[in-house]
């Protein structure tokens, strides 16, 4: 997958050299290219923002540097990329959206600072590219860069060959599969007793059927306690007879 990121803080993306994503890049599974938005300005101050029409606090990102940058980057390959613009007013980013993005060959991120990008930029590209405004949660960040890190990490780990154990993707909270729509339950490793706390004996039983059932029960209990709306969303078809006893 190719990923381009246009930002006034390309250095913000140093974590993409580390760990899972760093390895994926090294293996050639992920081609991440960073671009400085100010390279597409033409004044000595390399200005990317201006005061908002209509008044109000803060600054708005100017359309010209963004359009020149997006034109240059989006036009530098074959079929155009999907353009992703993080904003608190976008559609919620979920595991489902991550799975959708993981199928794309090319993503282009345009994280904004200040009060956002002049709205005409979205209007312009909506007629030419597939454009997604996405929010990573109901809170306001200082800029879209942290949201890009979140989205890239959630998508990259879904790419074939990125995770050592493909099973860990299918058991994820929110992933389709046996635990679809439920939060993952607790996990344990050695030693069997630590500071007086025991590992649940069933996990040491070797009975794989019973362990699978126990895991689903725990997932259900945790989801009911922390995110009851997720259980409600499963509906009657999402629950078997035993689930209803939990
Ligand atoms: N930019 C600022 N806040 C954001 C959020 N919650 N999600 C995505 N981008 C943002």
pLDDT tens digits for 11-49? Answer: 999 999 999 999 999 999 999 999 999 999 999 999 999
Residues 10 and 74 occupy one common structural domain: yes
Tell which of 129, 156, 183 closes a domain. 156
* Residue 167 banded pLDDT, cuts 50, 70, 90: low
* Span from the CA of 210 to the centroid of ligand 1 (angstroms): 42
CA-CA distance, 175 to 114, in Å (whole number)?
Answer: 34
- CATH code at 106? 3.40.1280.10
62 inside domain: yes
> What domain range includes position 89?
2-156
Q: Say whether 139 counts as a known binding-site residue.
A: yes
Interface confidence: ipTM more than 0.85: yes
Atom of ligand 1 nearest to the CA of 137: 6
Instruction: With cut-offs at 50, 70 and 90, classify the pLDDT of residue 169.
Output: confident
- Asked whether 139 lines ligand 1 (CB < 6 A), one says yes
Looking at the annotation, which residues are catalytic? 88, 115, 157, 172
Beta carbon of 144 within 6 Å of any ligand 1 atom: yes
Residues 6 and 115 in one domain: yes
163 in any annotated domain: no
Atom of ligand 1 nearest to the CA of 138: 6
In this prediction, residues 80-93 reach a mean pLDDT of 98
For ligand 1, is residue 140 a contact (CB within 6 Å)?
yes
Q: In the chain, how many domains are there?
A: 2
**CA pair distance 237, 32, nearest whole angstrom:** 41
Reported pTM: 0.94
CATH code: domain of residue 212: 1.10.1270.20
Question: Quick one: 139 and 207 in the same domain?
Answer: no
Task: Please give the distance, rounded to the nearest whole angstrom, from the Cα atom of residue 86 to the centre of ligand 1.
Answer: 6
pLDDT, mean over the chain: 95
Residue 210, SS3 per DSSP: helix
DSSP code for 11? G
Q: Strand locations in the chain, DSSP E? A: 2-7, 31-36, 49-50, 60-61, 82-92, 106-109, 130-135, 193-194, 197-198
Q: Which of 122, 156, 190 is the last residue of a domain?
A: 156
In sequence order, what are the beta bridge partners of 130? 82
Q: Which residue minimizes the CA distance to atom 5 of ligand 1? A: 88
* 162 belongs to a structural domain: no
């Amino acid at each position: 997958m190719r990923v381009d990121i246009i930002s006034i803080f390309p250095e913000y993306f140093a974590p993409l050299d580390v760990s899972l994503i760093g390895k994926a890049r090294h293996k050639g599974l992920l081609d991440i290219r960073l671009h400085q938005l100010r390279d597409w300005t033409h004044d000595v101050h390399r200005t990317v923002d201006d005061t908002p029409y209509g008044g109000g606090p803060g600054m708005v990102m100017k359309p010209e540097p963004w359009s020149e940058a997006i034109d240059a980057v989006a036009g530098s390959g074959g079929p155009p990329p999907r353009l992703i613009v993080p904003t608190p007013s976008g559609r919620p980013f979920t595991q489902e959206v991550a799975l959708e993005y993981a199928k794309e060959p090319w993503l282009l991120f345009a994280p904004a600072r200040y009060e956002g990008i002049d709205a005409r930029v979205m209007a312009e590209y909506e007629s030419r590219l597939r454009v997604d405004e996405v929010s990573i949660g109901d809170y306001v960040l200082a800029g879209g860069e942290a949201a890009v890190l979140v989205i890239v990490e959630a998508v990259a780990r879904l790419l074939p060959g990125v995770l050592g154990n493909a099973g860990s993707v299918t058991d994820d909270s929110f992933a389709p599969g046996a635990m679809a729509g439920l939060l993952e339950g607790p996990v344990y490793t050695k030693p069997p007793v630590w500071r007086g706390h025991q590992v649940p004996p069933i996990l040491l039983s070797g009975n794989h059927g019973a362990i699978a059932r126990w895991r689903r029960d725990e997932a259900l209990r945790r989801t009911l306690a922390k995110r009851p709306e997720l259980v409600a969303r499963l509906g009657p078809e999402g629950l078997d007879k035993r689930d209803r006893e939990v």
